[in-house]
Structure 1
Amino acid sequence: MTASHQPEFELKQVDGRTLRVARWRPKGKARHRPLLFFNGIGANIEIMSPLPERLDDREVITFDMPGVGGSPDPVLPYRPWMIARIAERIISDYGHERVDVMGVSWGGGMAQQFALQYGNRTGQLILAATSAGMLMVPGKLAALSKMADPRRYIDPDYMLKNFQTLYGGAEGGASDGAKGHASRIKPPSMMGYFNQLFAMAGWTSAPFLPFLATPTLIIMGDDDQIVPLANGHILKTLIPNAELAVIKGGGHLFLVHQADETMALIRDFLGTAKPLRAVA
């Protein structure tokens, strides 16, 4: 990341919780709405840091969930509507009335919750490698069992060795993208990780998505071992104003392995008020 585009970090007190918040300001005058980003389960801010570097014409805002990255452990459990409210208060504190919203994997559920809860504050929505929650087509057992193993965060060698099983994709764990991803990981606390699991227990957006008016881009990999492509088709069917793009050979981390292709889709979608033409 260039020195001119470093994030500004701060600890914010929101709804009685202390959260580490990151804000990337655009290079030059902002020409687009800010982007509010929700990360995957157990993922710290640094893991998504390549994204704002490629979106340096807009402000990008994200935060570590309680017990993840630089945010202290949660004192009390939380649910998705609480995280959406926290995010709304953060963007309000920065003076933003309306933001584009993106979520990856677990964070895709939070992004859906935010768009449903604060439709008037949401411009466009991007859902990557995610599902409608409880009503989803599950991934492969081998990937899900390794995903539950905390060694994938604590031991980089373990994650790289099992990268193909965990995340799919043509490149596997030997790629520079996979190694770079592993180097940016800061393990969440056990309390933080299990609170994220608890937050989504029983949650689904499916009954409410037909009422979502937000223009939505769904991006899925066709070799995702954790959230299979079928979930993208379910989201596309449920959301009235949605388009589905499929990354060929893309695993769960296609944002890492196929960054150029994925970011081209994202930039095209965010740069227009009209939904992106389907490529799948």
Structure 2
Amino acid sequence: MRTIDVGGQQLRVEVRPGDPDRTPLLLLNGIGASFEAFDPLVDALDPALGVIRFDAPGVGGSPLPALPYRFPGLARRIAALLDELGYDRVDVLGISWGGGLAQQFAFTQRSRCRRLVLVATGTGSIMVPAGPRVLARMITPRRYLDAGYLRSVAAELYGGSARTDADLVRRVLHAHTRVGPPLGYLYQLLAGAGWTSVAFLPFLHQEVLVLAGDDDPIIPPVNGRILAALIPHATLHRYPGGHLELAADPQLLVPAIQQFLTKEPQP
């Protein structure tokens, strides 16, 4: 774990070295949480797979940027980070907010992205939205700051395993997660405000795996079907669960992810 200066922005980064002959996996997290939220996933992945993860500006251990940012600019910064780390090409997995950033990176930094995994995410401002109560709870970082509040809203907000074990969500989001200042959360909201991938998804050339939960209040399942329909080389995998199953029950999704990353490329 280290902090790297990338174009004047300090980013807290962790790299798990893997087999140098395999393409490493870059992880892009959801809104408001530091990269420790990926710990259960990283532990479940093949140890021979190299993993790169970082805290978004203003989240976790990455300091607040001087100004707000947008997805295209952050995608360029990620490319610069890969230069600093010495990686030419990566596979990318993004969940929720990170899934939007992953789509942007795959499009504008296409030579740097071999394959793309999109988990519990959609096409941005043009998508089938969550219900009003869920959206209202998403506009503040309170659930990251107040474990009691998180427990009270976990089932309604995250669905899936959170409906039967609210403490599981608390452990995933509070055990080792460093949130950062509230303004960092606002900057993340602004990064995706008005953004949509609808116009460019048909031009993605990468093979893409879309993972969509059948009980995800934040990203209704129809959004997975929309993504898969718009992306030329996409495979849709529906799983039983909600928004946080990637961290709450990684063994549910890891087999599909690893099979996708290691399969022979399409002709």
TM class by shorter-chain length?
Answer: over 0.9
Inter-CA distance 166–99: structure 2 relative to 1 (3 Å threshold): same
2:43 pairs with 1:71: no
1:1-280 equivalence runs, <5 A:
9-26=1-18, 29-55=19-45, 56-172=47-163, 174=165, 177-181=168-172, 182-248=174-240, 250-274=241-265
Q: After TM superposition, give the deviation of residue 185 of structure 1 in Å.
A: 2.6
Q: Is the 8 A contact 1:99 1:121 kept in 2?
A: yes
Q: Is the 8 A contact 1:139 1:226 kept in 2?
A: yes
Q: After TM superposition, give the deviation of residue 119 of structure 1 in Å.
A: 1.2
Counterpart AA for 2:24 = P
Counterpart AA for 1:111 = A
Q: Distance in 2 between matches of 1:173 and 1:44?
A: 25
Q: After TM superposition, give the deviation of residue 257 of structure 1 in Å.
A: 3.4
Q: After TM superposition, give the deviation of residue 36 of structure 1 in Å.
A: 1.0
State the Cα deviation string for residues 55-75 of structure 1 (Å, max 9, x = none). 221111111111100011110
Q: After TM superposition, give the deviation of residue 138 of structure 1 in Å.
A: 0.4
Inter-CA distance 177–267: structure 2 relative to 1 (3 Å threshold): farther
Task: Specify which structure has the bigger relative contact order, considering alpha-carbon pairs within 8 angstroms and separated by 6 or more residues.
Answer: 2
Counting aligned pairs with the same residue, the percent is 42
Q: What TM-score do you get using the length of structure 2 for normalisation? A: 0.94
Unaligned runs of 5+ in 2: none
Runs of 4+ that moved beyond 3 A: none
Q: Distance in 2 between matches of 1:253 and 1:116?
A: 25
Counterpart AA for 2:116 = L
Q: What TM-score do you get using the length of structure 1 for normalisation? A: 0.89
Number of aligned residue pairs:
264
The alignment's C-alpha RMSD in Å is: 1.6
Q: Distance in 1 between matches of 2:101 and 2:39?
A: 19
Q: After TM superposition, give the deviation of residue 20 of structure 1 in Å.
A: 0.9
